[in-house]
Structure 1
Amino acid sequence: MAVYQRPPKLSESIAQQLKDDIIKGIYLPGERLKIIEIARRFGVSQTSVREALKILEKSDLVSESPHKGYVVTNLTLDELVDIWTIKEKLWSLAFAWFTERADKELIKDAEKWVSEFRNAYIENDLDRAFEANFAFTDVILAGCGSRKLVTLLRSIEDQVKRYRYLSLEFDDNLKVSSQYFGEIIKAIWIRDSKKVSTMIQEYIRFSQKVLKENYKYMQEKSKEKMRKEQL
């Protein structure tokens, strides 16, 4: 019997679109989210927009400032390094459990998205690579067998996907990511959870290194965009 799923509320739909915009850098860290402009954009009431922003605030994607209203949360480099360190431990566990517990159909799904990521890298398509990256990890979460771990990782990834997206263009990130994902899938097929765990930790440390080296540039890019919009 099919399970009934409640359709999303208007505020939830707006929150999802704003979340996607924040991740893709349409709204950058520190940028003010103007309620009136967003309401006009979606053709909705300001109340619906405020409700949407409250949803995003719970995920720490936006924060409310006494003088500015809502702004995109700007995580410091130290905060991001802490989060990446947590990610390393949690994803290591998720990938190891997936390797041990997932059935062949789920492994095939994961392999499909790794192949899609490789194609996106070859074509230098950042958006496509980003979508494939998180479709791949969604499959890992689906097969790791722990709802608690899934909840923790989804909460963390909501906060930092935008930094992942921005960092994809640096330091041969697409190429290195594709290579790691390919080797990880091979190890998953032979159920070598120890190797999978080690490789995902190495990969996340590489990702953290790229982020640290380019964080200043990302911040400057955000400030430059905001300066242009204020002219």
Structure 2
Amino acid sequence: MDEEPDLARLARTFGDPTRLGMLALLMEGRALTAKELAYGTGVQPGTATAHLRRLQEDALLGVARQGRHKYYRLATPAVARAVESLMVVARPVRVVPPRRQPQGALAEARYCYDHLAGRLGTGISEALFIRGWLRVEGERWELTADGERWCVDFGLDPAALRRRRRRFAYPCLDWSERCDHLGGALGAALAERLEALGWVARQKGTRVVTISAEGREGLAREFALTLRGSEEML
């Protein structure tokens, strides 16, 4: 039996102002909770849940769990392109931006298990993609040929890391930035290397990471990343 896209259903899904508003909020690239999407579109949490279920059923949203919370984001780049196309022809509409999440030292730079998170972790991950050193391979991340060479030059051993009994590299959702940072053996090794260089250090008894003056210079040089130092975060 032949099948064809159910454009009528998809049009009804897009046509609801609340659902379209949720998709527009997620165009920023940050993952948001159901409560934030409800707040941003001016509906009650129960109503938001029903809309989110419809968006998931139509494969427009993906969801990731982080502890007790669920975070929603656009399912694929194709969804983003579809929303962008609608934005080109649509009249402007006022939306309430979602509230920002925790600020300060923990959001600036911290450890997520054994890899770096916060603005530090997500900034480094973004730089690795911009420089063409990292690429997406399905649900995992992988080094490009240039990325392999950069790792060796930076003091990392990708071949040895792949022999470890853990995933090599994968996206880990950052709870404060709401976008992905680098997890896995590669993420852990990169964090260890930055510590060995004296660029970052873990504060005793916490997950907060401080950045030295040398580290600020190195991060700017290596990743075009500008972050505050420890004296500014404390």
TM range (shorter): under 0.3
More helix by share: 1
* TM-score, scaled relative to structure 2: 0.26
RCO comparison, higher one (Cα < 8 Å, 6+): 1
**Greater strand percent: which structure?**
2
- Give the greater-gyration-radius structure (CA): 2
